[in-house]
């Protein structure tokens, strides 16, 4: 049965669940950044890229974000936490579509760049448009990683690793709670 919680899978995710509990109780999240202009590439509902546009980054208070996000979405995207692997459905989703930021709707990944990384998180070898995602160094949880965020609202999406498939060799390991899937 695909997606069943086997004993092996339960043992594999236990450390991540523990780390998530520690992270939820200890992280305060970043201070809101001041609004600035960024260029993003909009995608229409049929998946076609539009001309790049300059927009002001979306800045909201925690109270405002909590009104539009579930508690899990808030803690992942606004507090930079991580979903437990194999708990969602997107890691095993094989339909054609666009993955959008759950906070602001910016297109961030396309299903044609998605691959099965075996990690339990949705993984992509490239963003839908390089302008739509940003990266920065993340040294939280005693690790040195590259954090991936939405360029428009700075919502935490996941992390970037260099162990992905061709053509880029990259693996954008993304939290399901930070995404909304739009079927094409």
Residue-level pLDDT at 12: 63
173 is catalytic: yes
Contacts with 72 (C-beta within 8 Å, 6 or more apart), sequence order:
83, 177
Q: Write phi, then psi, for 144 (nearest 5 degrees).
A: -115, 105
| pLDDT band at 143; cut points 50, 70, 90 | confident
Question: Within 10 A of 13 (CB to CB), how many other CB atoms are there?
Answer: 17
Domains and CATH numbers, the chain: 7-183 (2.170.150.20)
List CB contacts of 111: < 8 A, sequence separation 6 or more: 93, 94, 95, 96, 97, 98, 99, 184
Q: Which residues pair with 34 in a beta bridge?
A: none
Whole-structure pTM value: 0.82
**pLDDT of 112 higher than 50:** yes
Whether 39 and 51 have beta carbons less than 8 Å apart is answered as no
Tell me the per-residue pLDDT of 121-142, one tens digit each, with 9 for 90 and over. Answer: 999 999 999 999 999 998 887 8
101, 150, 153, 173: the catalytic one is 173
Given this model, what pLDDT does residue 33 score? 64
Residues composing the chain: 184
């Amino acid at each position: 049965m695909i997606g069943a919680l086997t004993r092996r899978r339960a043992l594999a995710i236990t450390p991540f669940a523990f780390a998530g509990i520690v992270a939820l109780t200890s992280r305060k999240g970043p201070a809101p950044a001041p609004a600035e202009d960024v260029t993003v590439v909009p995608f229409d509902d049929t998946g076609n890229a539009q001309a790049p546009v300059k927009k002001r980054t979306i800045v909201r208070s925690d109270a405002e974000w909590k009104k539009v996000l579930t508690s899990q979405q808030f803690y992942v995207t606004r507090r930079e936490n991580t979903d437990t692997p194999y708990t969602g459905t997107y890691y095993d989703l094989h339909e054609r579509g666009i993955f959008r930021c759950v906070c602001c709707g910016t297109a961030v990944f396309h299903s044609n760049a998605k691959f099965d990384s075996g990690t339990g998180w949705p993984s992509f070898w490239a963003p839908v448009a390089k302008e739509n995602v940003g990266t920065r160094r993340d040294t939280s949880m005693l690790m040195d990683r590259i954090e991936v965020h939405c360029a428009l609202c700075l919502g935490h999406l996941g992390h970037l690793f260099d162990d992905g498939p061709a053509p880029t060799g990259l693996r954008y390991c993304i939290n399901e709670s930070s995404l909304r899937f739009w079927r094409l």
